[in-house]
């Protein structure tokens, strides 16, 4: 029979161990995320206001905290968002929620696990001022000043088709063989002097008024879960008056869509500018979605031989004027206001990536994407 001293010693050991574990697991803050939709939300980024978090967790060490699920067993990936500032704006968390569900996440002290970057982008001086960016799904690029005047000059948003979750931009530019599929994908999307895969420009008398290619660039956030950058364009003449634009573009891990913020500066006395978000169309028949009520434009291109099929699309937030088409473009027409950012989304998917493989699947993705924008994940901090 065990004596009382041994019983007391064991009891002290277990209580002490429990107290130590409890102290280590005690959250400094609890983040609650609610999905109000009857749709599953997979690998979606949610922003937690940094001021709200630090109000609950003052003195947080930005290099030494972890986010754990309710069980305390799974660590959640996160990123601090600066948006070009020294201070922190948001804590970005990648979460997955079932329809109409709520999760609770615990913020605790501790060294976070390393996160493999899922977004990346950079200025590419070795390729005539390209600016390229990507995530674990897709890649894009815009064209810079050095390309002007060359036989390869182009304007709109370009798409690089990927079928790998790894980041490939540096490798593809280094090998300079990205027009051939070596297993991870390729660049076969033709832009030319068009809006490509959903760029934006002024629209006057049924014509796109293109600026020159971008002049300056600035990275605002360099991953690992969101990449955000800024492109500035020189003033150009639109219907006899000067116009300037700054585009701020961000791409989240797990998403097919960029968030685009176009801030137009107009001449004195001008308050409105007609604009279009445009997608280049091909000579062969493709499948088209023009949903004016929802502000969704979708295009499933004709098959491009062995390269497969790319779907492109735009999703508008502000009310649109109408949708239209000509031999070159599919258009969503709208009105941008002076000194007020015009926000919309553009993006693409490649059927050979194996996840979105038909026009129906692509159009459903766009419709669900808009629904998620209308009913975002709800966040609170306790």
Q: Is the pLDDT of residue 285 over 80?
A: yes
Give the residue from 244, 249, 155 showing the smallest Cα distance to 208.
155
Instruction: Sheet with 378-381: list strands edge to edge.
Output: 65-68, 102-109, 29-34, 378-381
Question: What pLDDT is attached to residue 25?
Answer: 59
Closest CA to 285 of 255, 309, 256: 309
**Average pLDDT over the chain, rounded to whole?**
93
Q: Decide: 342 and 262 in contact? Cβ < 8 Å.
A: yes
* Residues forming beta bridges with residue 310, ordered by sequence position: 350
For 71-81, write each residue's pLDDT tens digit.
888 999 999 99
Helix ranges (H only) for 26-115 are 50-56
Cβ pair 241, 267 in contact under 8 A:
yes
The residues pairing with 134 across neighbouring beta strands, listed in sequence order, are 120, 139
Which residues, 6 or more positions from 225, have their beta carbon under 8 angstroms from its beta carbon? 45, 77, 78, 79, 92, 94, 115, 118, 119, 252, 253
CA 17/CA 26 separation, integer angstroms: 14
23: left (phi over 0), alpha (psi -120 to 50) or beta: alpha
Tens digits of per-residue pLDDT, 43-73? 999 999 999 999 999 999 999 999 999 988 8
Q: Kindly tell me the burial class for residue 120, based on how many C-beta atoms sit within 10 Å of its own C-beta (0-12, 13-18, 19 or more).
A: buried
Q: Is the pLDDT of residue 176 over 60?
A: yes
Which pLDDT band, with edges at 50, 70 and 90, does 154 fall under? very high
- Tens of pLDDT, residues 220-259: 999 999 999 999 999 999 999 999 999 999 999 999 999 9
Alpha carbon of 146 to those of 127, 153, 187, 233: distances in Å? Answer: 9, 9, 20, 14
pLDDT tens digit sequence for 299-327: 999 999 999 999 999 999 989 999 999 99
Q: Is the model's pLDDT at 371 over the cut of 70?
A: yes
Domains of the chain: 26-114 (2.60.40.1180), 119-378 (2.70.98)
């Amino acid at each position: 029979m065990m004596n009382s001293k041994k019983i007391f010693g064991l009891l002290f050991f277990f209580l002490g161990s429990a107290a130590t574990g409890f102290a280590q697991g005690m959250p400094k803050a609890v983040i609650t995320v609610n999905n109000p939709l009857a749709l599953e939300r997979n690998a979606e980024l949610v922003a937690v206001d940094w001021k709200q978090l630090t109000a609950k967790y003052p003195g947080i060490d930005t290099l030494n905290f972890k986010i754990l699920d309710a069980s305390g067993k799974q660590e959640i990936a996160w990123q601090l968002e600066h948006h070009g500032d020294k201070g922190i704006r948001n804590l970005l968390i990648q979460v997955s929620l079932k329809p109409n569900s709520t999760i609770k996440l615990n913020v605790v002290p501790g060294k976070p696990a390393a996160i493999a970057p899922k977004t990346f982008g950079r200025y590419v001086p070795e390729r005539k001022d390209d600016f390229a960016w990507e995530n674990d799904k897709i890649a894009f690029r815009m064209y810079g000043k050095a390309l002007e005047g060359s036989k390869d000059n182009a304007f709109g948003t370009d798409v690089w088709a990927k079928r790998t979750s790894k980041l490939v931009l540096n490798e593809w530019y280094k090998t300079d063989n990205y027009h051939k599929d070596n297993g991870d994908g390729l660049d076969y999307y033709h832009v030319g002097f068009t809006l490509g895969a959903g760029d934006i420009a002024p629209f006057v008398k049924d014509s796109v008024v293109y600026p020159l290619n971008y002049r300056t660039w600035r990275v605002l956030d360099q991953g690992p879960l969101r990449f955000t950058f800024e492109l500035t364009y020189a003033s150009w003449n639109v219907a006899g008056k000067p116009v300037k634009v700054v585009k701020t573009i961000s791409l989240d891990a797990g998403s097919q869509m960029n968030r685009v913020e176009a801030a137009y500066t107009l001449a004195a006395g001008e308050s409105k500018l007609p604009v279009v978000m445009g997608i280049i169309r091909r000579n062969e028949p493709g499948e088209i979605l023009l949903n004016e009520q929802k502000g969704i434009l979708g295009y499933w291109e004709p098959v491009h031989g062995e390269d497969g099929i790319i779907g492109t699309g735009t999703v508008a937030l502000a009310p649109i004027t109408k949708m239209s088409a000509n031999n070159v473009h599919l258009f969503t027409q709208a009105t941008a206001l002076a000194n007020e950012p015009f926000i919309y989304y553009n993006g693409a998917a490649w059927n050979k990536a194996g996840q979105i493989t038909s026009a129906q699947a692509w159009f459903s993705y766009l419709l669900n994407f808009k629904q998620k924008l209308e009913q975002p994940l709800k966040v609170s901090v306790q």
